[in-house]
């Protein structure tokens, strides 16, 4: 409406009486009052105050932040171009190790979690106590980060990718157990009842009534976790459990920035390729609509 000389436009303006009537009918629409606004201000204020307290408690220092950012930019210029130097074969081998850790860790975790998934499902084991215990054990396993498991396994089986496989497998048990049991609980009871009605035993009911239903769901979850574990297995090396992380931590420590950027690039490419392949496979298994696309 900046130019009043322009062609007249039709404006719909309610008659004064209408405005009063509408205001009386919907008081909250025209004047929501101070309540919601106050609530929003209070929650934002609380978040900011807590952040300030956190900054003070952790001793965060603005000067260090700015000088650090300067340093970081300097490192980024040093990272160009990414260059493996003479260590390319070593890094390719580490990449293979990383893939092996992710693959075997996921598979082993799923294989061990598979029976737990049925044990932790209310519909299979009606005993509340047993199912509660299994769930709590799975929760505990899940509460410990992969890296902590890796560290523990390194002290038990020694340095190397095998410790990484065990670490990924252990924390996958917790995650898969929960997901599997939810998948089992969500399935359709009718085939199970059918098998039971035809005289099948409890085990046969699981094999022929439940398994065909849950298998595609489980397979797609397996692939999904393979993607996520591929990311995780790049870092278990930081504590000595094999793979790319080992070299990455080492090269950062000796400030070989070209190699650092090359290793990060390798990780990114590996993750992208795995994501691509596994999302293809997942769609093939469960259909395009059901998947959580990346």
Contact set with another protein (CB under 8 A)? 47, 50-51, 53-55, 57-61, 64-65, 68-69, 71-72, 75, 96-97, 99-101, 103-104, 107, 139-140, 143-145, 147-148, 151-153, 155-157, 160-162, 164-165, 231-232, 234-235, 238-239, 242, 245, 248-249, 252, 255, 260, 264, 267-268, 271-272
Between 101 and 192, name the residue whose CB sits nearer to another protein: 101
d(CA 271, CA 249): 19
For another protein, give the closer residue by CB, 234 or 279. 234
Q: What is the smallest separation between the CB atom of 275 and another protein, expressed in angstroms?
A: 9
**Is residue 270 within 8 Å of 98, Cβ to Cβ?**
yes
Q: How far is the CB of 205 from another protein (least distance, A)?
A: 21
Smallest separation, CB 162 to another protein (Å):
6
CB of 132 to another protein, least distance (A): 14
- Contact 206/193 with Cβ under 8 angstroms? no
Report, in Å, the least distance between residue 68 CB and another protein: 4
Query: What does the alpha-carbon distance between residue 230 and residue 111 come to, in Å, rounded to a whole number?
Result: 18
Q: Are 101 and 171 in contact (CB under 8 A)?
A: no
**30 C-beta neighbours (distance < 10 Å), count:** 10
3-state secondary structure at position 243: coil
Kindly report whether the peptide bond that precedes residue 236 is cis, defined as omega within 30 degrees of 0: no
Helix (H), strand (E) at residue 191 = helix 190-197
When the beta carbons of 55 and 115 are compared against another protein, the nearer one is 55
- Residue 100: closest CA among 220, 222, 229: 229
Specify the residue, 66 or 189, whose C-beta has the smaller distance to another protein.
66
Nearer to another protein, 56 or 129 (CB): 56
Alpha carbons 222 and 216: distance in angstroms, whole number: 10
Q: Which is nearer to another protein, 19 or 47 (CB)?
A: 47
Instruction: Give least dist CB 2 to another protein, A.
Output: 11
Compare residues 20 and 65 and give the one whose CB is closer to another protein.
65
Closest separation in Å from C-beta 122 to another protein: 18
Task: Kindly list the distances between the CA atom of residue 65 and the CA atoms of 74, 240, 252, 271, in Å, as whole numbers in the listed order.
Answer: 14, 30, 20, 30
CA 73 – CA 76 distance, rounded (Å): 5
């Amino acid at each position: 409406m900046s130019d009043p000389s322009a062609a007249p436009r039709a404006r719909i303006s309610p008659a004064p009486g209408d405005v009063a009537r509408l205001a009386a009918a919907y008081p909250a629409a025209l004047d929501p009052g101070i309540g919601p606004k106050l609530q929003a201000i209070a929650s934002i204020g609380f978040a900011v105050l807590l952040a300030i307290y956190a900054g003070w408690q952790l001793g965060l220092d603005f000067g260090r932040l700015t000088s650090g950012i300067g340093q970081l930019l300097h490192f980024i210029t040093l990272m160009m171009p990414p260059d493996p130097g003479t260590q390319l074969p070593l890094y390719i081998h580490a990449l293979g190790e990383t893939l092996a850790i992710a693959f075997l860790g996921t598979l082993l975790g799923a294989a061990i979690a598979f029976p737990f998934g049925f044990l932790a499902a209310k519909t299979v084991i009606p005993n509340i106590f047993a199912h509660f215990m299994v769930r709590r054990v799975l929760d505990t396993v899940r509460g410990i980060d992969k890296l902590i498991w890796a560290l523990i396994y390194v002290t038990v089986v020694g340095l190397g990718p095998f410790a990484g496989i065990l670490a990924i497998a252990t924390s996958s048990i917790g995650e898969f157990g929960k997901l599997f049991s939810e998948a089992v609980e969500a399935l359709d009871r009718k085939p199970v009842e059918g098998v039971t009605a035809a005289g099948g035993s409890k085990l046969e009911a699981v094999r022929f009534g439940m398994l065909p239903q849950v298998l595609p769901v489980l397979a797609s979850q397996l692939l999904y976790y393979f993607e996520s574990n591929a990311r995780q297995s790049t870092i278990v090396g930081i504590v000595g459990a094999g793979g790319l992380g080992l070299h990455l931590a080492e090269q950062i420590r000796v400030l070989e920035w070209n190699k650092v950027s090359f290793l990060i690039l390798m990780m990114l490419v590996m993750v992208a390729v795995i994501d691509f392949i596994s999302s293809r496979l997942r769609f093939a298994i469960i259909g395009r609509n059901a998947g959580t696309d990346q």
